[in-house]
Structure 1
């Protein structure tokens, strides 16, 4: 599978899970930070979609990997905590947040590099 298709698939899954998480948070499990998890997923689904279509963008694979890992860790921790009433593992959410921040810095650095033909 090509990189842009894999990133696009990740965008679609993050978007769908983000909407579902927001719906569950609004109607079934309130007060469990599911709105935060859903918003992180939706915002980064859009960013992943942009990366999937950024032809010639340097470091887009690394940026996408950091976004996906960050979403899995950060939102996954909040969703897991709401569903199981315990943490995924110590420091999962902060590790995910750091991965998301590094992903955005990677996008910034990649935009400064010469574009590939």
Structure 2
């Protein structure tokens, strides 16, 4: 299995989990936070699929944002899910995940602007 297939499978898992979280978050008493986590996963899953499909960003310029977007959104949503299901808040986990996701978007910007090296 290639690395791109694994990344695509993770993006699909994030999309699946995002839809489940959105559905669960639309019914009381679990409203609000689950929907935010679900949206976070869905948006980033779509972005990852788009990055996999582009030829404009390749090599490290694609690998870095893919890793950061998947990791950040996963960590962010995991904290929300743990809080909603178990009731435990893991301090700092959501902000860490959000920061990693933000760095992923910054990596997309940098990757789009940095020309690939000509060998």
TM-score (norm 1): 0.89
The 5 A counterparts of 1:52-67 are 52-55=52-55, 57-58=57-58, 59-67=61-69
RMSD: 1.8
Higher relative contact order structure (alpha carbons within 8 Å, sequence separation ≥ 6) = 1
Cα gap change, 1:40/1:116 in structure 2, threshold over 3 Å: closer, same or farther? farther
Task: Decide whether the 8 Å contact of 1:74 with 1:93 is kept in 2.
Answer: yes
Q: Partner residue of 2:16?
A: 16
CA distance in 1, matches of 2:116, 2:34: 38
Q: Give the conservation status (yes or no) of the 8 Å contact 1:25–1:33.
A: yes
- Matched with 1:97 is 98
Structure 1 consecutive aligned stretches of length 4 or more whose deviation exceeds 3 Å: none
Structure 1 residues 82 and 50: CA distance shift in structure 2, 3 A: same
Q: CA deviation at 1:115?
A: 4.3
Whether contact under 8 Å (1:3, 1:61) holds in the other structure is no
Whether 1:74 aligns to 2:73 is no
Unmatched 5+ residue regions in structure 2? none
Q: Matches of 1:116 and 1:4 in 2, distance apart?
A: 22
What is the SS of the residue equivalent to 1:114?
A: coil
* Structure 2 length-normalised TM: 0.87
1:74-112 CA deviation, whole Å, 9 max, x = no partner?
11100110000002x320000001001000000000001
Q: Which runs of 5+ in 1 are unaligned?
A: none
